Chains A and B, each alone.
Chain A
Amino acid sequence: EPEVTQTPSHQVTQMGQEVILRCVPISNHLYFYWYRQILGQKVEFLVSFYNNEISEKSEIFDDQFSVERPDGSNFTLKIRSTKLEDSAMYFCASSDARTGMNTEAFFGQGTRLTVV
């Protein structure tokens, strides 16, 4: 069964450092997403990406965040200068979402980011 894969599963970084979280969405999907879940809190939408550009982003997704699809398979989230409050589980998701059709999103296992 096709799945979304994320690497690494756990990343520890020092405050102020740049991190890149990587995701391989399901191959025939069109929309890609990043969500985050701070420990014990709700899952929050960060950004959606379609046709090589951001289609929607939340207020959380400020200038320190960026996303990229550098090739035909990977989808990355970059945090330029990490803060302690960026510590969270980051989930990548993809969907074959088209207006009026199945809107199911498939999630990866997540990358736990710990900023120290």
Chain B
Amino acid sequence: GDSVTQMEGPVTLSEEAFLTINCTYTATGYPSLFWYVQYPGEGLQLLLKATKADDKGSNKGFEATYRKETTSFHLEKGSVQVSDSAVYFCALSDRGNAGNMLTFGGGTRLMVKP
């Protein structure tokens, strides 16, 4: 079945540091890939997405590129801020599934210190 593996946290960085959160996936077919973010005390918000190979999703300074050859969708940001502290979830949606349910990774907690 489908699965998503992401690096375990917590990841602790200083403000303005470079961020990478690794995500790899296993899926049948050609999934769409997503990063969701969960700020403290809040629900899940879509951060960015990519629907086909070599697509780059980007939002709020975050980027991730859909790499079919390495089955990866790593999240990057050049300069993190304290306000980026949250839990980040990588997810996939396999178009073969009716309703396009999401399969999530375990989440990576990011803590950014001033």
Interface residues, chain A, CB within 8 Å of chain B?
31, 33, 35, 41-45, 48-50, 55-56, 91, 93, 95, 97, 99-100, 102-110
Contacts of B93 in A (CB 8 A): 97, 103, 105
B99 A48 Cβ-Cβ under 8 A? yes
Per a CB cutoff under 8 Å, which of A55, A106, A109 touches B98?
A: A55
Main SS class of interface, A: strand
A109 B95 Cβ-Cβ under 8 A? no
Count contacts between A and B, CB distance < 8 Å. 69
A109 and B44 CA atoms in complex are apart in Å by 7
Contacts of B99 in A (CB 8 A): 31, 33, 48-50, 55-56, 95, 97
Can you name 12 A-B residue pairings with CB atoms under 8 Å?
A: A35-B102, A42-B105, A43-B107, A45-B102, A45-B103, A55-B98, A56-B99, A103-B51, A103-B95, A107-B44, A109-B42, A110-B43
1/0 per position for B76-110, CB-CB distance to A under 8 A?
Answer: 00000000000001010101011111111111000
Contacts of A41 in B (CB 8 A): 106
Per a CB cutoff under 8 Å, which of B32, B44, B49, B97 touches A91?
A: B44
**A31 and B44 contact, Cβ closer than 8 Å, known pairs A42-B105, A42-B107, A104-B49:** no
Contacts of B36 in A (CB 8 A): 107
**A97 and B104 contact, Cβ closer than 8 Å, known pairs A43-B89, A103-B95, A106-B46:** no
**Residue picked from B42, B49, B93, B100, most chain A C-beta under 10 Å:** B100
